[in-house]
Amino acid sequence: MRAVVCDRLGDPSVLKIEQRPVPAVGPSDVLVEVGAASVNFPDVLMLTASYQHKPELPFTPGMEGAGTISTVGAEVTNWRPGDRVIFGVRPGAFADYVRLPADGNLMRLPSSWSMAEGAGFRVGATTAYHSLVHRAALKPREVLLVHGAAGGVGLAAVQLGKHLGAQVIATGGDDERLAVVRRLGADLVINYRRDDFVPIVKGLTDGRGADVVYDPVGGEVLEKSVRAAAYGARLLVVGFTSGGPTRIMSNRVLIKGLSVLGVRAGETARRQGSALARDYAVELPRLAELGVMRPHISHRFPMDRAADAFRVLIERKVVGKAVIEMT
Ligand SMILES: NC(=O)c1ccc[n+]([C@@H]2O[C@H](COP(=O)([O-])OP(=O)(O)OC[C@H]3O[C@@H](n4cnc5c(N)ncnc54)[C@H](OP(=O)(O)O)[C@@H]3O)[C@@H](O)[C@H]2O)c1
C-alpha cells in the first residue's frame, strides 16, 4: 500500500510517498481502506515536533479520515466488511489502509456524506462538542464568540453553537473565507485583521460582552477576548495557531469573574468513562446524522500532493477542511 511518510522533521516538503505492507489484522481489529483523510493544525505541528504528541520518526501523519472496512478480526462482532466509517488515529491516516481497534475511534459515516466530509468531521466535532457542551455548558440565546472561525475546529463550533441556539459572532482574517462562515450559520462575522472585535462585540450586546469565547488562535486575540467577555463569561482555551501560549492578566480574570477553561478533546476522549467518550459513541453520530457540523471542504488533493494540503493550511487558505483523497 502507499503511505505518506515523514522521516525527518521540517516543512511539508519533507513528506514523501513510500510503499508499506498492508497492516496485519489482530482478532479485535478492523482494517479500513481509507477513502479520504483530512489535515489538522496538529499535523503541521507534528512535522516539526512542536505538538504535545511527538510520534517517533518515521511516521505517517493524519489524525482522522473516512473509509470502508475491508477486513474484521475473528472476535469483532460490531463491524462488517463494507461498513463505511469515520475514524480517528494517532497518527497514520494518510495511507491506503489503517488498522484500528474495533472498539476504538470509529463511527458510522452518514449515508449522504462523502468520504471527504467524513474525513473532516471527527476532530472539529469532538473539539467543538467537548468545549461548548461539556466545558462551557452553552445555553440557548447566549452570545458565543468564535475565533479563527474559518478553520476546522472554529467552523465546527460555529455550526454547533447555532444548533444549540446561541447567537454566534465569528472572527477570522479574510473576508472571502468569512463570507462562507456567515453562509454556514454565523450571525455576524468580523475580520480581526482589519477591525477591532472588542467594540463590535460590546456594541452588539448593549455593552455586556460575549457569554462564551471559543479560541483556537491565542496571542492578541485571546488577550483582547478578556475585554470582549461579559461578566462571568467562560473563556475556552482551544489552541494557539497565532504562535504560542498567551499570558492573560489574572486581575482581569478576577474582576470580571471569568472562568478560563482548558480544552483537551483528544485526551478527554481517551480517558475511560469520560462524558466525551460516552458522547462520542452516541451523541456525535446522532448529530452527524442530523447534518450538524457537516464539514465544509475547501481543498482536495490526491495523495501524491499531500504536502500541498499542509501548505494551504499553513497559508491560511482553508475554509473548514483540506482533505487528501486516496482514490
Ligand atoms: N484543544 C483541543 O482539544 C484541540 C483539538 C484540535 C485542535 N486544536 C487546536 O486548535 C487550533 C486550530 O486547529 P485547526 O485544525 O482548526 O486549524 P486550522 O483549520 O488551520 O484553523 C486555524 C485558524 O487559525 C487562524 N490563524 C490565526 N493566526 C494564524 C497563523 N499565524 N497561522 C495559521 N492560522 C492562523 C486561521 O484563521 P484566519 O486566517 O482567518 O485568521 C485559521 O483558519 C490548533 O492550535 C490546534 O492545535 C485543539
- CATH code of the domain occupying 123-267: 3.40.50.720
Buried b (16+ CB within 10 A) or exposed e, 127-165: bbbbbbbbbbebeeebbbbbbbbbbbbbbbbbbbbbbbe
pLDDT at 55 over 80: yes
| Distance (Å, whole) CA 284 – CA 123 | 11
Q: Is residue 198 very low, low, confident or very high in pLDDT (cuts 50, 70, 90)?
A: very high
Fold of 2-121+295-325: Quinone Oxidoreductase; Chain A, domain 1 (3.90.180)
Q: Is residue 270 very low, low, confident or very high in pLDDT (cuts 50, 70, 90)?
A: confident
pTM for this predicted structure: 0.97
Residues 224-243 have a mean pLDDT of 97
- Which atom of ligand 1 is nearest the CA belonging to 154? 16
- Which atom of ligand 1 is nearest the CA belonging to 149? 43
pLDDT at 24 over 80: yes
Domain ranges of the chain: 2-121+295-325, 123-267
Query: Distances from the Cα of 87 to the Cαs of 17, 122, 258, in angstroms?
Result: 21, 7, 36
Residue nearest to atom 41 of ligand 1 (CA): 173
The reply to whether 123-267 shares the fold of 2-121+295-325 is: no
* Out of 14-18, 193-197, 266-270, least confident range: 266-270
C-alpha 62 to ligand 1 mean position (Å):
16
β-bridge partners, 235: 213, 260
Q: Is residue 279 very low, low, confident or very high in pLDDT (cuts 50, 70, 90)?
A: confident
- Which atom of ligand 1 is nearest the CA belonging to 239? 45
Q: Is residue 225 very low, low, confident or very high in pLDDT (cuts 50, 70, 90)?
A: very high
pLDDT at 274 over 90: no
| Distance (Å, whole) CA 143 – CA 166 | 6
In testing the pocket of ligand 1, which one of 153, 182, 215, 293 has its CB within 8 Å of the most ligand atoms? 153
The answer to whether the beta carbons of residues 301 and 308 sit under 8 Å apart is yes
The amino acid sitting at 267 is E
Residue nearest to atom 28 of ligand 1 (CA): 242
pLDDT at 132 over 80: yes
